[in-house]
Structure 1
Amino acid sequence: MADVKQVDVKLPRVSKGKRSRFFDDPATDQIMTFLLELMAEVSALRERQDTIERLLEEKGSITRADIEAYQPSAAVEAERAAWNNGFIRRVMRFHDPD
């Protein structure tokens, strides 16, 4: 397998343009934005925790470099995706039709 060069991408820190509005009350939009951003952070933390747990189980001791270099297998990615989908469904109260 060929080595893949990792490139750092710099994203702007500030959004341009007007904030999207979906609800009549801007406070509702603000709450929804807060909720979605918090969900994204929880999901990212859960993924990092999963990485740490897997590496500790495999190696017993790890470094930050080990965490940053971790490449999950397709099976691990699928497991994480399933957790994330369940998380979104629980928080947003999406239910499968009966």
Structure 2
Amino acid sequence: MAGQDEQVKLPRAAKGKRSQFYDDPAVDQMMTFLLELMAETAALRERVDTIERLLDEKGSVSRDEIEAYSPSAQTEAERSAWTQQFLRRVLRAHEPR
């Protein structure tokens, strides 16, 4: 088992054939783009939430405090609810009718 201080090495390129879910490969590419953009947006939203919470608590914030922040169970629940609503809003058109 790797220790917390060890750096995890991930492969730089995916192996194997890319999955295709739609008849048009361009639709698969757009969905991949959308999902990656959604993941980045959610990560940025959590970081902004961390900064806002630290500012509310302390009035100022350092990069180290942001990196070391550990959300409470209540904060995790609020973030999870936001993420679920975000996914529903963005993927609403993709739901079966």
* TM-score, normalisation: structure 1: 0.86
Deviations 1:28-85 (A, max 9, x none): 0000000000000000000000000000111111111000000000100000000000
Counterpart among 4, 20, 41 of residue 6 in structure 1:
4
Cα deviation for residue 11 of structure 1 reads 1.9
Q: Is 1:42 aligned to residue 8 of structure 2?
A: no
Counterpart-to-counterpart distance in 2, 1:43 and 1:87: 8
Q: How many correspondences in the alignment?
A: 90
Percent identity between matched residues is 70
Q: Distance in 2 between matches of 1:52 and 1:10?
A: 29
Q: TM-score scaled by structure 2?
A: 0.87
- Verify: 1:27 aligned to 2:6, yes or no: no
Deviation at 1:16, TM superposition (A): 1.4
Q: What does residue 52 of structure 1 align with? A: 51
Q: State the SS of the aligned residue for 1:84.
A: helix
3-state secondary structure, aligned to 2:16: coil
In the alignment, what sits opposite 2:71? 72
**Distance in 2 (alpha carbons) for counterparts of 1:72 and 1:49:** 13
